[in-house]
């Protein structure tokens, strides 16, 4: 096989791993760092160069086969959903937290994986490899479960300030307009449900919506601002109507 083509294929495979499976690639990278720490501290102390070479080689191999591993895990996940629905729901819950807070999850997974390999830190009663693996996996899951809601609270968007149109209330605005000789009414564009065409008494028969409503088209904030404009204009026009029609003002005073 052509070496140039082989290197190009390997480069494409690694690029696919980082573009299609970014989180898994980051996990592999952190795992490689953890393995290097374990080699340096536990298994092969004082051999920095060879430990770094082993960790780098393992990282290259792991990233190269990551695309195929993720494809196999996807098929395994489908089988797990059918065989163990409870485990599938728990895994989906944890993955949801990992998807929302990947950096936090990477730190927890990296710390838990490194702690598993540091055998000297474990009590003798749980220092056996399989027991350590179960404890580390449960600890990682518990840490993600506890840290997820806290991260959601920290990362929550701050509440937006209340939408205000103007600091001048309608009564004061009407008074200022009258003093300036401006007795016109306010006009506000409408965004209301409307039956199109010549249809006599459509509401007696019933109607059904077609297309998005005002809130869907404008968004929550814009729809709220529009309704506030309408409420402000309604109060302004009511006060201006009392001024422009003395008979109305007199009847209101009589009542």
| pLDDT tens string 127-146 | 787 888 888 888 888 888 88
Query: DSSP states of 139-192 as a string?
Result: HHHHHHHHHHHHHHHHHSPPPPPPP-S-SS-HHHHHHHHHHTT--PPP------
Q: What is the dihedral of CA 219, 223, 225, 229, to 10 degrees?
A: 160
For residues 117 and 128, what is the distance between their CA atoms, to the nearest angstrom?
A: 11
Q: What is the mean pLDDT of the chain?
A: 75
For range 166-193, the mean pLDDT: 78
Q: Over 60: is that where the pLDDT of 156 sits? A: no
Give me the half-sphere count of Cα atoms (radius 13 Å) on the Cβ side of residue 89: 3
Enter the pTM of the model: 0.40
Please report where in the chains the tokens 């340096």 appear, as a residue: 40
The pLDDT-based confidence of 41 (bands split at 50, 70, 90) is confident
User: Average pLDDT, stretch 105-127?
Assistant: 79
More confident residue, 194 or 86: 86
More confident residue, 124 or 84: 124
Q: Is 31 exposed, middle or buried (0-12, 13-18, 19+ CB in 10 A)?
A: buried
Query: Across residues 187-208, what is the average pLDDT?
Result: 57
């Amino acid at each position: 096989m052509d070496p140039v083509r082989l290197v190009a294929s390997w480069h494409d495979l690694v690029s696919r791993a980082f573009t299609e499976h970014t989180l898994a690639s980051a996990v592999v990278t952190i795992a490689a760092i953890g393995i290097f720490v374990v080699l340096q501290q536990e298994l092969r102390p004082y051999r920095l160069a060879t430990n770094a070479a082993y960790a780098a080689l393992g990282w290259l191999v792991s990233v190269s086969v990551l695309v195929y591993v993720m494809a196999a895990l996807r098929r395994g996940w489908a089988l797990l959903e059918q065989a163990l629905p409870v485990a599938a729901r728990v895994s989906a819950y944890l993955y949801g937290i990992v998807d929302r807070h990947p950096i936090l999850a990477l730190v927890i997974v990296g710390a838990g994986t490194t702690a598993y390999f540091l055998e000297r830190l474990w009590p003798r009663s749980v220092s056996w490899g399989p027991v350590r693996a179960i404890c580390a996996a449960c600890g990682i899951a518990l840490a993600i479960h506890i840290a997820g809601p806290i991260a959601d609270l920290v990362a929550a968007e701050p509440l937006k300030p209340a939408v205000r149109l103007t600091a001048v209330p309608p009564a004061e605005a009407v008074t200022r307009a009258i003093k300036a000789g401006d007795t016109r009414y306010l006009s506000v564009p409408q965004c209301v449900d409307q039956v199109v065409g010549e249809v006599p008494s459509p509401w007696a028969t019933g109607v059904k919506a077609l297309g998005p409503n005002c809130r869907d088209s404008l968004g929550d904030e814009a729809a709220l601002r529009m309704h506030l404009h309408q409420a402000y204009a309604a109060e302004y026009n009511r006060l201006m109507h009392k001024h422009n029609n003395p008979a109305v003002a007199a009847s209101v005073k009589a009542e």
